[in-house]
Structure 1
Amino acid sequence: MKQKIIDNLFGLWKHIGEKGKILHVTDDYLFVRSKNNSWPSIVFELKNEEDMFKNLHHEIENQTLPNSISIFEDKALETALLENKFMLKSTVKGMYLNLIEKPKSNHDFDSIYKVDNEQRATEFARIASKSFGYEILDSTITPLINSSSLKLFIGKHNDHYVSCGMLLLDSDNISGIHMIGTTPEYRGLGLGKTMTHKLLLEAFENKSDMVVLVASEAGERIYSKLGFISDGSLKSFRIKDKVELQQS
């Protein structure tokens, strides 16, 4: 399942890039760059070409590429990046769930709303920015409203929109759960879990047999309780700054 997990995640970035006209394709990698380097600004689908890494470092240093590279469990790529003065920024786990083994929820989810207009797109961007601690622009979310393969949702609590989530149906008919978040002041109320179950219901509606996601260490523990199985890791790298270079 490792490749299926990463295909869905990279497919999400490509889809967002295509919809927002911010996807760039080169012979050696793809990258998405949103305004102000907001989410998702990332380099991915790298090829392991020997002469690529110095140029890649140079382009990031000159701010013509985002300072964030994602790879999925590739020792050769990881070694090449480290040898060329990149450093590991974060690691998340790939996870999957076989829906055939899960009962379909009969919950009505009346507090969760599909993002189907610009006002709700703005709310999604606001909630996600507060939830994840990095900037997500309205202009990134709005082009996704009428997507046939990507669904976005926001959840209410006490008449306030406070949770978000999205689901991508890929070409393998696998549903990927992404961007599940709750604003800090409303955490601990089970709102993220409710959003997850809503997205699982949408995966059933997609007639998907499999659901995939990537999760932090804390998220891995939560999703494991829902039956998700860990399989592989996604690693993110960035170039070192001048102080880090002097210390290395």
Structure 2
Amino acid sequence: MENINELNIDNLTSLWVKVGQAVGHYVNENNYELSCVKNSEWPNKIWIKQPLTNELLISLSQKMASSEQSLVFPHWDIYPNEGSEIALEGFTQKSFQTGMSLPLNKPFPSSSSLTAKRVSNTEEAKFWAAIYPKCFGYVIGEEILIQTMNEMEYNLFYFNGALVGTAIYHPNEQVAGIHGVGIVPEMRRRGFAEEIMYLLLNRAIAENISYATLQASELGKGIYQRLGFTEDFIIKNYVPKFD
């Protein structure tokens, strides 16, 4: 088994790569990758897969400053030989997430109350894109779904015909990446996030996938801990500091 942290990050960044290549702008340079899409707040990231140095940070800062779109730099603390003296004074931390993983060695309770619907046409893509900001407060452009729904799985979940929430299910290699699990405001605090996870985790088990990975907000982390996910690393999301 490869390093689970690297598999987690590879699953996440493969989403960004696919979206940038299909809909927007994707760049793969020697020391960084970049993916951004117009009329969307996601992915719009610039990232590295090596220890951060001050020289590399300067290069990222210059690239972010010259970009026509606002970019976020996610920094994951998975490199033990990374210098602690890295100067991030030119950046502001926008948010942070916890990279988490779970060995898929036993099934979860079946969710009989929820039904899942994969986005499969333009109308559903537009609907998913309209619902997502209600769950998370930022926009994934509808054109992203329209152009990538055949190779990436965007799901809507319903309870007795009423919309509950969203998720992106993204298996690759040895892991099933679970992203964008969001509940619409009127359906929160009713256990639906756990039920969505039951459905997705049991599906991954049925597909003989070894691990599930995700990146949790501080608000959602407790749900995943109750399911048995472990906290593996931190992702700090930075934006340039403007004077």
TM-score by length of 2: 0.86
2:33 aligned partner: 30
The structure-2 alpha-carbon separation of the partners of 1:14 and 1:166, relative to structure 1 and needing over 3 Å to count, comes to same
Q: Output the amino acid matched with 2:91.
A: F
Pick aligned residue for 1:128 from 120, 126, 132: 132
Give the CA deviation at 1:87. 2.5
- Letter of the 2:183 counterpart: T
Consecutive unaligned residues of structure 1, counting only runs of 5 or more, are 243-248
Give distance in 2, aligned partners of 1:78 and 1:215: 24
| Letter matched to residue 208 of structure 1 | I
Q: Which residue pairs with 1:10 in the alignment?
A: 13
- 1:1-248 alignment runs, 5 A limit: 1-45=4-48, 47=50, 48=52, 50-64=54-68, 66-73=70-77, 74=79, 76=82, 79-80=85-86, 82-83=88-89, 85-100=90-105, 102-103=106-107, 105-107=109-111, 111-147=115-151, 150-157=152-159, 159-171=161-173, 173-242=174-243
Counterpart of 1:116 in 2: which secondary structure? coil
Q: Take 1:65 and 1:59, find their aligned partners in 2: how far apart are those partners? A: 11
Amino acid at match of 1:92: Q
Give CA-to-partner distance per residue, 1:100-135, whole Å, 9 cap, x none.
1x2255445652211122222112211212111011
Contact 1:109 1:198 in 2 (8 A): no
SS in structure 2 opposite 1:236?
A: strand
Give the residue type in structure 2 aligned to 1:3: E
Question: Per the alignment, in what secondary structure is the counterpart of residue 35 of structure 1?
Answer: coil
Q: Residue 169 of structure 2 contacts residue 178 of structure 2 at CA under 8 Å; is this kept in 1?
A: yes
In structure 2, C-alpha distance between the alignment counterparts of 1:216 and 1:224, rounded to whole Å: 12
Unaligned runs of 5+ in 2: none
Q: Counterparts of 1:135 and 1:234 in 2: how far apart (Å)? A: 20
> Identical aligned pairs, as a percentage?
26
Partner SS, residue 111 of structure 1: strand
CA distance in 2, matches of 1:62, 1:91: 24
Q: Distance in 2 between matches of 1:2 and 1:35?
A: 30
User: How far apart are 1:17 and its partner, in Å?
Assistant: 2.1
Q: CA RMSD in A?
A: 2.3
**TM-score, normalised to structure 1's length?**
0.85
**Cα drift, residue 153 of structure 1:** 0.8
